[in-house]
Amino acid sequence: MDHFNYRGGSLHAEDVPLTEIVRAVGTPVYVYSTATLERHYRVFEAALDGMPHLICYAMKANSNLAVLKVMARLGAGMDVVSGGEYRRAKAAGVPGGKIVFSGVGKTREEMQLALQGGIRQFNVESLPELEALSAVANSMSMVAPVTIRVNPDVDAKTHAKISTGKSENKFGIPIAQARSAYAAAAALPGLEVVGIDVHIGSQLTDLAPYESAFFKVADLTGVLRADGHDIRRLDLGGGLGIPYRRANDVPPLPFDYGEVVQRTVGHLGCEIEIEPGRLIAGNAGILVARVIYVKEGAGRRFVILDAAMNDLVRPAMYDAWHDIVPLTEPAPGIEMADVDIVGPVCETGDTFARGRAMPPLAADDLVAFRSAGAYGAVMASEYNSRPLIPEVLVSGDQFAVVRARPDYDEMLNRDTIPAWLE
């Protein structure tokens, strides 16, 4: 469920007509709904009710400070994967004790930053990382709380580029090597083992891979406790999918996910950490674009937008589907026609949809890409020297620009011409 609906024939974000935002900000523009962000967080809270838990929002999905502030006010922790994300979480008011640091390539500088600023735990992904973290913590006379991310070799049946739990993926330590890895952690100075971490992928639409992975974690918990390790937290990752194609997609609900967690690891007495990102932010955001031209090709009709692959890369990178709807509600029974929806970038890959059935569109019409709140603005670039597009947050009948569109001078002034070329 989201809060982007037609009212009186015009698409609204909560109580704000999107045309009002377009008049104020222009296009393309990302628009986020506070009510949707809050609802999705609370759905996860309800799903884990009765179990000690912390929901750590995976901020790589959408790291705008205003979005993070919404999450922080709800009591969420944060899952960060870089020093920059750590700084964003702290800037949004999230205490260090609620920040989990994940990722395969943490630098010593990032470790030091997190230890100085406070950290709930490091999710460690390799023996060299364990050794580096031990050295950093020991040099600071501090103790770093750690979980070790185990790779359970479970196929999440998701897109190959976002699968993380198979043996050939770069993430984690093979679960067969977990006992020796935990023994190494216990022997290193400056580390405190607090739990186990697992994450098998993103956009999962089937609960069976979760169940398989979590049962393996439950077995491992017993083995590690028998070895003398104090396993008191289980970080189960994120990855639950969202319905990108509303007419076809029916992913599992957080309540069903919570039942799997309870059934597989609920008896262990551990605090449960989960790291949803896409499910919280994805359907809480849309991308609004304007039609520049409608072009007749050889047997194809192209709808050319002012948004491009540099603004929303998911279709080009993952062949991802986004529902695309006009801001003016089509009349009932209107005739649809197949069109290719493309952007202005000089790449054939700058294509959002091929052969998509759409109502009639003309130059200056406005359209919205649904489910664009996750992995949209955060993955944007200035390819073709196109400025990053603004982000807007809506709350009820209010809206505010939470990241402004830079002008061309701002973009050009980030470059420096060396003296010998003057």
**Distance separating the N- and C-terminal Cα atoms of the chain:** 56
- Which residues are annotated as catalytic? 346
- In contact, 89 and 117? CB cutoff 8 Å: no
Tell me the C-alpha distance between 391 and 286, whole Å. 10
**Side chain identity at residue 379, one-letter code:** M
Taking 3-state DSSP, the helix, strand and coil percentages for the chain, each rounded to the nearest 5, stand at: 35, 25, 40
Q: Pull the structure tokens for residue 233.
A: 């937290």
Name the burial class of residue 283, with classes exposed (0-12), middle (13-18) and buried (19+) by CB atoms within 10 angstroms of its CB. buried
Contacts of 168 (CB under 8 A, 6+ apart): none
Q: Pull the structure tokens for residue 261.
A: 């967690």
The reply to whether omega before 406 is within 30° of 0 (cis) is no
Sign of CA dihedral 36, 40, 41, 43: positive
> What Å distances lie between residue 317 and 142, 161, 163, 166, 224, CA to CA?
42, 9, 14, 21, 40
Kindly state the helix (H) or strand (E) to which residue 249 belongs, with its residue range.
none
Tell me the C-alpha distance between 355 and 339, whole Å. 5
Among residues 169, 196, 81, 184, the alpha carbon closest in space to that of 127 is found at 184
Q: Strands 324-326, 366-369: parallel, antiparallel or unpaired by DSSP?
A: antiparallel
| Long-range Cβ contacts of 377-380 (<8 Å, 24+ apart) | 377/30, 377/62, 377/64, 377/285, 377/403, 378/60, 378/61, 378/62, 378/63, 379/313, 379/314, 379/317, 380/310, 380/311, 380/312, 380/313
Count of C-beta atoms within a 10 Å radius of residue 49: 11
